Amino acid sequence: MSETTTLPLEPPREPPREPLPIAQIGEPVLRVRAREVTLDELRSPEFQRFIDQLIATMHHAKGAGLAANQVFQPVQACAIEVRDNPRYPYKPNIPLTVLINPVLEPLSAERFDNFEGCLSVPNLRGVVPRYAELRVRALDRHGAPLDFEVRGITAGTFQHEVDHLEGKLFLDRVEDRTSLCTWDAFHRYQEPAFRARVEALVARWGS
């Protein structure tokens, strides 16, 4: 199986704009499957500017990722990056990765419990079972094929973002509804135990 890393981003084609609005739960755009992106569309200056805006909005909101339909564009595109993120201080860093038309394939049946939140579901967290090992196939922002594997807590981040492109929110995958809590309650009651689980995942999977 080949492994391909993302290419360096090109410089923005124009000065940064204001962050895009982020759709909140209840917006219909969050519940439709995003359409695939054609190569001609992807390589257009307009779509490249949109990718720049998607990344800038993710950074502004301090998200670990952002899907296109979260900013009211139902296309198969998402951005993922963790770089010493204060919103998720326990998450290992993930280099900036743009996925176009992504397909995820579990590499085993093993799953782990991931405490998740979402920029489109304000002030709510819950436990979601996620696959521990994935093969990721997609195009990068330039249209080049990507084919790589992710594991551990990082695999959970990829599943969360690609779920958005399928019209799903993390709430749809919460099996134990008693795990739902506000961010404040998570910090007070759940975070220490979850940090320990994350450390064990990173020790086992390296991410």
Q: Report the candidate in 170, 172, 173 with the shortest Cα–Cα distance to residue 161.
A: 170
The active-site residue, picked from 14, 161, 191, 199, is 161
How does pLDDT run across 106-135, given as a tens digit for each residue?
999 999 999 999 999 999 999 999 999 999
Q: Interhelix angle for 152-165 vs 191-205, to 10°?
A: 100
Active site residue 41: no
Fold of 28-106+127-205: Peptide Deformylase (3.90.45)
Under 8 Å between Cβ of 25 and 70:
no
User: In which residue ranges of the chain is pLDDT below 70?
Assistant: 1-17
Going from N- to C-terminal start, the domains of the chain cover: 28-106+127-205
Please tell me the predicted confidence (pLDDT) of residue 2: 41
pLDDT digits (tens, 9 = 90+) for 161-181: 999 999 999 999 999 999 999
Query: In a 3-state reduction of DSSP, which class is residue 160?
Result: helix
